[in-house]
Chains A and B, each alone.
Chain A
Amino acid sequence: MGNILVFAETQKGRVPKSSLIAIQAGKDAARKLGGDVLVAVLGADTADAANEAAGYGAAKVLAVNDAALENYLADAYAATLEQLARANDVTLLAATATAVGKDLLPRVAARLGVGMASDVVSFHEDGTLQRPMYAGNTTATVTLADTIKVVSVRSTAFDAAQPGDQSAVEQVSVSLDADATKMQFVEFNETKSDRPNLTEASIVVSGGRGLKSGENFTTYLEPLVNELNAAMGASRAAVDAGFVPNDLQVGQTGKVVAPELYIAVGISGAIQHLAGMKDSKVIVAVNKDPDAPIFNVADYGLVADLFKAVPELTEAVKKAKE
């Protein structure tokens, strides 16, 4: 077994929790398959992020500083990772299946001429991997035939790496040709929110079409979300109707979450929605239809009109905290 290369994202000079999950997945793979864990940090100025990444017990951090890497762009980042993988005897390349991970890894895999497994939830000693398919209706056991295996890992399947021995930081330079710098970054419109990140929060409260309007999200759901210090999520129907921003969508084709507590309000529980939340530890559903499929996965189901039940719930939470 050669080395395991983990790609760590950077956000405002920091390593996000999603990338600590990739580091943990890399360590898990190393324990089962052998090899050293190397962490790649890319950017125009990676000093802080590379230092931070070095605090999690990896064998080495590879820091690449290049003006072309200032903003994440698939072409320049993929060319860089390809070079790192080839130069460091890498046999497993991993990153978390975030928007960046999903965009980047297949491009690296194809540059390397190898196959890739998406959304891996476990590594096994015999070299097999497991990943969900068909909106979580099945779990597939798969193998990758190439010497370099590329995988994205599902963030809900691994814990974040805990601080460990300090790793050495090695500065690496790469050469990026014209083919690798065709894309330009224009702008990023951040959804401003003081709440915890949807994929990182320990409590998620999601609303569906049953809320009927964006205003009702504000009047009914937000107080509960705030009282629980939770993140807000939504069904596709609620997002399509414009009640809330796109990046709140939970599900097969949105975000996958697995908090300690997931509260689904006015959500019917379509298979595509369940695919994104059914691994949550405790699931609560509030729905006025006793036959709604969400009750099949809910640990606690409250059959009630949400417009009456949610304000009561908010009050009760407030009291319970006192």
Chain B
Amino acid sequence: MKVLVTVKRVPDPETTIRVKSDGSGIETDNIKYVINPFDEIALEEALRLKEKLGSGEVVLVSIGDRVVTEQLRTGLAMGADRAILVGCDQDLDSLAVARILAKIVEDESPQLVLMGKQAIDDDANQAGQMLAALLGWPQATFASEVVLSDDQQAVKVTREVDGGLETIGFALPGIITSDLRLNEPRYASLPGIMKARKKEIREIVATDLGVDIAPRLTIKSLEPPTQKEAGKKVETVEELIGLLHDEAKVI
């Protein structure tokens, strides 16, 4: 089975993001970049599927400028077989990302595309659903469990939804986006890192794909959120209850 896994380069969730004083973007100095954590989970799931079946191929794809090679190498070191880098130096919105990915899917014909439920930089939570729509494929977002049928032709996916867990099923091909509790991603091993150096990263250029990637969503400006005044420290539970009752009037 061939599985395509999408990988986005995002700022490390541990870094503090600051808006530039003119609101044109964020301060990018001293930011460390990583694979979007949800994409790591998606990749882990693909690797486990391949290991379970004892055969198959895991192909990574990332869209961005040359620096995303770094994240693709990390993914290859975790165990993916090869990678595709779609070169693009303009900002893309989710629809453009989905249109580019749809082209790659047509070309590669995977049975399954595994993605993250959201990119933790812009939190759009759109690309997977949009790709599914463009391809006319079924989708299972927010996956916490994926079960492949014995004949490998269908999946049952448990999804984290409001108020509980929902299970849906469909025949492949399809799109699955990962939630946090799908699995715990492995670290790249030293031999993995050595092997990754020799794995293929095929480079193509977004503008050669003949898809419309003009942004529909434009970010006009960024503002820091309004800061809250510092609160009060209290010593005792009595004091706390007193303030909640008399000052805040919430109890």
> Chain A residues in contact with chain B, CB under 8 A?
18, 73-75, 78, 98-100, 102-111, 113-119, 128, 132-146, 179, 182-191, 197, 199, 203, 228, 236, 239-240, 245-247, 249, 252-253, 255, 260-261, 271-272, 278, 281-284, 290, 295-304, 309, 312-313, 316-317, 320
Smallest CB gap from A296: residue in B: B230
**12 extra interface residue pairs, beta carbon distance < 8 Å, beyond A134-B121, A138-B225, A316-B238:** A74-B139, A100-B162, A106-B126, A182-B171, A185-B168, A246-B181, A247-B162, A271-B13, A296-B230, A297-B231, A299-B232, A316-B241
B245: CB under 8 A from chain A?
A: yes
B208: CB under 8 A from chain A?
A: no
Q: Tell me the dominant secondary structure on chain B's binding face.
A: mixed
In-complex Cβ contact of A133 among B38, B93, B121, B240 (8 A):
B121
B169: CB under 8 A from chain A?
A: yes
A297 to B230, CA, bound (A): 7
Smallest CB gap from B117: residue in A: A253
A113 to B168, CA, bound (A): 26
Smallest CB gap from B161: residue in A: A99
**Interface range, B side:** 35 or more
Q: List B115-160 residues whose CB lies under 8 Å from chain A.
A: 117-118, 120-134, 136-142, 144, 156, 159-160
B129 to chain A, nearest CB (A): 4
Scoring A143, A290, A303 by chain B CB atoms within 10 A of each residue's CB, the highest score goes to A143
Contacts of B248 in A (CB 8 A): 261, 282, 299-300
Instruction: Tell me if B181 and A317 are in contact (CB < 8 A).
Output: no
B194: CB under 8 A from chain A?
A: no
Given A106-B126, A145-B218, A138-B17 contact (CB < 8 Å):
yes
In-complex Cβ contact of A140 among B95, B131, B222 (8 A):
B222
Instruction: Tell me if A236 and B95 are in contact (CB < 8 A).
Output: no
A134 to B223, CA, bound (A): 11
Instruction: Tell me if A109 and B241 are in contact (CB < 8 A).
Output: no
Instruction: Tell me if A78 and B133 are in contact (CB < 8 A).
Output: yes
Contacts of A187 in B (CB 8 A): 166-167
Instruction: Tell me if B125 and A102 are in contact (CB < 8 A).
Output: yes
Instruction: Tell me if A301 and B233 are in contact (CB < 8 A).
Output: yes
B67: CB under 8 A from chain A?
A: no
Contacts of B220 in A (CB 8 A): 128, 140-143
Instruction: Tell me if B26 and A184 are in contact (CB < 8 A).
Output: no
Contacts of B243 in A (CB 8 A): 300
Instruction: Tell me if A106 and B26 are in contact (CB < 8 A).
Output: no
Write out, one digit per residue, whether chain B residues 164-179 have a CB within 8 A of any chain A CB (1) or not (0): 1111111100100001
Q: What are 19 A-B interface contacts by the 8 Å CB criterion?
A: A74-B132, A100-B161, A102-B125, A106-B126, A106-B130, A115-B93, A239-B180, A246-B181, A247-B164, A247-B165, A252-B120, A252-B123, A253-B180, A271-B13, A299-B232, A300-B234, A302-B235, A302-B240, A316-B238
- Give the 10 A-B CB pairs with smallest separation, nearest first: A115-B216, A110-B133, A106-B129, A110-B130, A106-B126, A99-B161, A186-B167, A299-B231, A190-B164, A312-B237
Smallest CB gap from A254: residue in B: B180
A147 to chain B, nearest CB (A): 11
A303 to B240, CA, bound (A): 11
B172 to chain A, nearest CB (A): 10
Contacts of B94 in A (CB 8 A): 106, 115-116
B188: CB under 8 A from chain A?
A: no
Given A98-B162, A110-B95, A184-B244 contact (CB < 8 Å):
no
Given A119-B123, A186-B168, A253-B118, A139-B245 contact (CB < 8 Å):
no
Instruction: Tell me if B123 and A236 are in contact (CB < 8 A).
Output: no
In-complex Cβ contact of A191 among B123, B131, B163 (8 A):
B163
Instruction: Tell me if A118 and B222 are in contact (CB < 8 A).
Output: no
A142 to B98, CA, bound (A): 20
A316 to chain B, nearest CB (A): 4
A308 to chain B, nearest CB (A): 9
Instruction: Tell me if B95 and A114 are in contact (CB < 8 A).
Output: yes
A303 to B233, CA, bound (A): 7
Q: List B196-225 residues whose CB lies under 8 Å from chain A.
A: 215-225
Smallest CB gap from B154: residue in A: A184
Instruction: Tell me if A143 and B218 are in contact (CB < 8 A).
Output: yes
Instruction: Tell me if A115 and B181 are in contact (CB < 8 A).
Output: no
A249 to B181, CA, bound (A): 11
B19: CB under 8 A from chain A?
A: yes
Smallest CB gap from B139: residue in A: A74
Instruction: Tell me if B17 and A139 are in contact (CB < 8 A).
Output: no
Given A260-B250, A283-B231, A109-B180 contact (CB < 8 Å):
no
Instruction: Tell me if A300 and B93 are in contact (CB < 8 A).
Output: no
B82 to chain A, nearest CB (A): 27
In-complex Cβ contact of B133 among A102, A107, A296 (8 A):
A107
B52: CB under 8 A from chain A?
A: no
B33 to chain A, nearest CB (A): 13
B16: CB under 8 A from chain A?
A: yes
In-complex Cβ contact of A246 among B117, B126, B160, B236 (8 A):
B160
A306 to chain B, nearest CB (A): 11
Instruction: Tell me if B225 and A139 are in contact (CB < 8 A).
Output: yes
